Structure 1
């Protein structure tokens, strides 16, 4: 681990490991299987990149997208780490060269798609090499409980049988309890060390507004923002219409969806990565694993289909740790359409899972409690405190003493033996004379009809708030039945009071976040960004690969004028000092002396 710390500083330019990185690296170096649950931007990549540099031989990284492979390899090369990728974009000669260099032991990391990795020819090739670690990125794709299940990932479970003595690492930013258990089973991880980091991204401000003249809302929001952004739409037509509307208002943007030619999509994505386009308007076909650290905002023009998708997509903002914005435009009609789309799927079991996940997303959109708290509780990271950096915290809805209503709901869940979903629970609370209720004698329960004075919608809202607050959870492995959590015990025992929210009528987007941004010289920051872009164009790499916005901000705060000072900047290692230090120090010195 002393060597790992040395690599962290000398190669990657970081003084300290982030939460969990040291523990994960230590376990991998002891040949243990590992499951890593960290938020986007939480530092998952270093969990396998540093062991790859310490272990003998080769580390194989399973990656889902060609563009992601290239970006990660480009970034590693700027740090002086020998890495390559193998995919269909390589010519036969380039492929031969990579294979030969693998055979000669020149690489520490090889990025490959799951489809190619599981080809018999490729497996045989690996069996003739020294492979020390296999890292499966976006590991939630192996699980049918996951939001982005892929059949090709399912084959990865065979790796443990083929390479029984090689540790396997699964990494994901988006996995609920059911998905985590399934990842472990599907990858055949043997007594894995599981690290679950905090899913909190405190630098991202969460906003939700009711959808009304959505194009005007999107334009107004974008006009208030600086830097790169992504706007997600649920249809190609909306992408086309919105990108045209934004362009008419002088926004440097492009539309991206599966209806475009592959070469055009690749160019648009590359232009966005290289800061030649400020804003991408896209379907969800865009962005999984996009390794662009300086995205400053993400807008959801339509409601996502799951909390996992939403979390992953907003996670593309603020990966450098600097302030970022997330805006969700919510419309009940959109929700109804999405439920219909999901219901028409070919696989009934999969449809059921997706409907349950969408119900959680819909509840998030309707929420009147701290949005960060809802997200964290969904991923079983129960949080009692409010975040101070979402629309609910910055413009709080009115509260009332909801203790009795909460007790009615929780007691009814208990009386029904935690075996029913929310609508059935509401039917019992409201005393409905339904056939199933009468057949099971649920009309004889003490909680039957105790909520008859309130509407379905009222109780639906209360149940959602109790889920968001961590008193109830939805078990998607059992048809979305409601389960009590340990947090519910004090409420049921009348040992706790609970404040709940009344319906919101308006939203104030003008309130300032309680999260303070780093103070730095904005004029110098602009000059450093200009230099960074110039270097990136010369080297044909994305600007953030040269240095992240966070690194430039640290320069604009500390004004390093020597190589020693420059090495103390966040994200500057020895290789980057040698490559870029002189030019950046010259700009800083000139700025100070003018």
Structure 2
């Protein structure tokens, strides 16, 4: 049998394991239940992929993140390792085929969401698989105190009775001590070996700067550190706008969010990964499964919703162990905006019930029906039709998704359906007279034999590959055929897809899950308070604050965060700069850029002096982002 290191070198081309990886792998190989608490970028997937490859049988991987499952399956397939993901939207007959492949086709990995375990027939099929390891990714979702609790995760413990000798491996990047203990209990882990890597990232300088001009401050940071960078924003509009602003300043920048097509996501991601652009501006849809080691700077220009999410996003910097920066830029209005975005939009039981009933009405689902039905969904149209607030509605639907009532896919998609509306002999006649269109038309006919009888959804990329053409050419041919009344052709862009996982039961459904809603809302408020404390606390090392949140108590300051730097003596004469600033503010209120130009000091020196003057209650920052003397 090949060793773990040989497997790693053969398939993943790494020379050695990262900290904790080999210890976790050895624990699993010894048949022990194991818990791996590894910060983002720690290489969690290797911890189950390597031991699974060392043994006969298949590894069952349970994860709530569809995009991450697809990404890992694609990566394994590129390595010629057989892997399958049972994600939403797969029909029952396809799932039967996939599970047959797992049972008889020598597959090594089966990925599925926890909601799949609620289907009795899938559970029965899983019992027949030669499972060698059960890996639970994002294991904090098991705990009711975790930041993304999903009741479906509680069903995983049932697998213990079916596979008593198969080790469980629970993995997460962010869990407090309370969550860790709850996960162990809920999964029924038996005397688990716990490998808890420190949350400390000694090479990351955590920075918080209160500024009046975020774009100007970003420009300074990105010029000073011209290496690969990520800027996180809270919405799609800010993504494109911020990228354009940075481009206007001469930076090479692109953007990434859930509303882009798969092709545009891949294109923009490739530009950034291949160093063709310095900056990618992104929502939190970006980052899962991204392993770019040389990210120098991560900047948040909007407040994160929790320490957990901030820590994961900040941790995408400095994976090469070189010094890196994670910066939050704040202004006085951020707290109110974040409160409106995170707290005031939390749905209560009443509106959750209204939204669920209207969703069923919207899709014409009768009471007692709807299970496994799939629909295209445009959130804005739905909200306009029924007068619902958009963010609160989105949060309500996300909650229903986490509870397994429905599945929400936010991936952009272009759905194309067509049907030939003339006789087959007339189609052949057209082909004989238009030979340039022949490869595309014949490929469609061979791939979809029922396309004369009914409207049929077609896969453009598949047709392009089989006909040796490109998707633009296929679009052109289809438009031409439509104009000639040869086909009935429709294309529709969808913001999302919704699959109903249960029959419609209105209040009975909502009453069953409302206790989780109340607990989730309280958890969101607690997490929001924690991020506000992190931002506002000016007398404690930022690294210490993060570590304390996750239960790690350390005595020494990090020495490189914004707090620690503010305490270091500066080469420039700090008192002289402060005097100049006070003199200017006696004349009139000014912003930092005006002060910097008039004093002719460096931007860093000015920011340092302003922060010290504010901490000593000598100046204030106004709502118009100008500084003024405190009376």
Distance 1:108 1:2, change over 3 A: closer
Does the 8 A contact of 1:68 with 1:290 survive in 2?
Answer: no
1:397 CA drift (Å): 6.4
Q: Which residue of 1 aligns with 2:542?
A: 371
Q: Give the Cα–Cα distance (whole angstroms) in 2 for the partners of residues 221 and 296 of structure 1.
A: 11
Q: Which residue of 2 aligns with 1:64?
A: 64
Q: Give the Cα–Cα distance (whole angstroms) in 1 for the partners of residues 536 and 44 of structure 2.
A: 32
Q: Which residue of 2 aligns with 1:357?
A: 527
Distance 1:81 1:215, change over 3 A: same
Distance 1:92 1:322, change over 3 A: farther
Q: Give the Cα–Cα distance (whole angstroms) in 2 for the partners of residues 120 and 263 of structure 1.
A: 36
Q: Give the Cα–Cα distance (whole angstroms) in 2 for the partners of residues 5 and 269 of structure 1.
A: 30
Q: Give the Cα–Cα distance (whole angstroms) in 2 for the partners of residues 229 and 90 of structure 1.
A: 36
Q: Give the Cα–Cα distance (whole angstroms) in 2 for the partners of residues 348 and 332 of structure 1.
A: 30
The DSSP-based 3-state class of the residue aligned with 1:285 is coil
Root mean square deviation of aligned Cα: 3.5
1:53 CA drift (Å): 1.6
1:343 CA drift (Å): 4.5
1:99 CA drift (Å): 4.4
Q: Which residue of 1 aligns with 2:308?
A: 308
Q: 1:394 aligns with which of 565, 574, 577?
A: 565
In structure 2, list runs of 5 or more residues that go unmatched. Answer: 349-516, 570-609, 616-631
Q: Give the Cα–Cα distance (whole angstroms) in 2 for the partners of residues 333 and 326 of structure 1.
A: 21
2:273 equivalent to 1:103: no
Q: Give the Cα–Cα distance (whole angstroms) in 1 for the partners of residues 30 and 128 of structure 2.
A: 23
Q: Give the Cα–Cα distance (whole angstroms) in 2 for the partners of residues 162 and 132 of structure 1.
A: 13
Q: Which residue of 2 aligns with 1:138?
A: 138
Does the 8 A contact of 1:343 with 1:355 survive in 2?
Answer: no
Does the 8 A contact of 2:72 with 2:289 survive in 1?
Answer: no
Q: Give the Cα–Cα distance (whole angstroms) in 1 for the partners of residues 195 and 234 of structure 2.
A: 34
Q: Give the Cα–Cα distance (whole angstroms) in 2 for the partners of residues 217 and 124 of structure 1.
A: 57
Q: Deviations over 1:138-172 (max 9, x none)?
A: 11223332223345545434433443432221111
1:382 CA drift (Å): 1.6
Q: Give the Cα–Cα distance (whole angstroms) in 2 for the partners of residues 265 and 151 of structure 1.
A: 31
1:19 CA drift (Å): 3.2
The DSSP-based 3-state class of the residue aligned with 2:325 is strand
The DSSP-based 3-state class of the residue aligned with 1:316 is coil
The DSSP-based 3-state class of the residue aligned with 1:393 is helix
Matches within 5 A, 1:107-122: 107-116=107-116, 118-122=118-122
The DSSP-based 3-state class of the residue aligned with 2:169 is strand
Does the 8 A contact of 2:2 with 2:54 survive in 1?
Answer: no
Q: Deviations over 1:344-363 (max 9, x none)?
A: 52244322222222222122
Q: Which residue of 2 aligns with 1:25?
A: 25
Matches within 5 A, 1:27-66: 27-66=27-66
Does the 8 A contact of 1:56 with 1:132 survive in 2?
Answer: yes
Does the 8 A contact of 1:343 with 1:351 survive in 2?
Answer: no
The DSSP-based 3-state class of the residue aligned with 1:295 is coil
Q: Give the Cα–Cα distance (whole angstroms) in 2 for the partners of residues 302 and 46 of structure 1.
A: 33
The DSSP-based 3-state class of the residue aligned with 1:318 is coil
Q: Give the Cα–Cα distance (whole angstroms) in 2 for the partners of residues 332 and 339 of structure 1.
A: 13
Q: Which residue of 2 aligns with 1:342?
A: 343
1:245 CA drift (Å): 1.1
Distance 1:245 1:14, change over 3 A: closer
Q: Which residue of 2 aligns with 1:326?
A: 326
Distance 1:73 1:324, change over 3 A: farther
1:192 CA drift (Å): 1.9
Does the 8 A contact of 1:41 with 1:320 survive in 2?
Answer: no
Distance 1:90 1:290, change over 3 A: farther
Rg: which structure is higher?
2
Q: Which residue of 1 aligns with 2:230?
A: 230
1:124 CA drift (Å): 2.8
1:181 CA drift (Å): 2.0
Q: Give the Cα–Cα distance (whole angstroms) in 1 for the partners of residues 546 and 258 of structure 2.
A: 29
Matches within 5 A, 1:283-298: 283-298=283-298
The DSSP-based 3-state class of the residue aligned with 1:298 is strand
Matches within 5 A, 1:64-83: 64-76=64-76, 81-83=81-83
In structure 1, list runs of 5 or more residues that go unmatched. Answer: 399-501, 508-594
Distance 1:293 1:506, change over 3 A: farther
The DSSP-based 3-state class of the residue aligned with 1:335 is helix
Q: Give the Cα–Cα distance (whole angstroms) in 2 for the partners of residues 208 and 317 of structure 1.
A: 16
Matches within 5 A, 1:123-202: 123-202=123-202
Q: TM-score, normalised by structure 1?
A: 0.60
The DSSP-based 3-state class of the residue aligned with 2:296 is strand
Q: Give the Cα–Cα distance (whole angstroms) in 1 for the partners of residues 258 and 15 of structure 2.
A: 42
Q: Which residue of 1 aligns with 2:213?
A: 213
Q: Give the Cα–Cα distance (whole angstroms) in 1 for the partners of residues 313 and 154 of structure 2.
A: 23
Distance 1:226 1:155, change over 3 A: farther
Q: Give the Cα–Cα distance (whole angstroms) in 2 for the partners of residues 254 and 221 of structure 1.
A: 17
Does the 8 A contact of 1:57 with 1:105 survive in 2?
Answer: no
Q: Deviations over 1:383-425 (max 9, x none)?
A: 2222233233334269xxxxxxxxxxxxxxxxxxxxxxxxxxx
1:312 CA drift (Å): 0.8
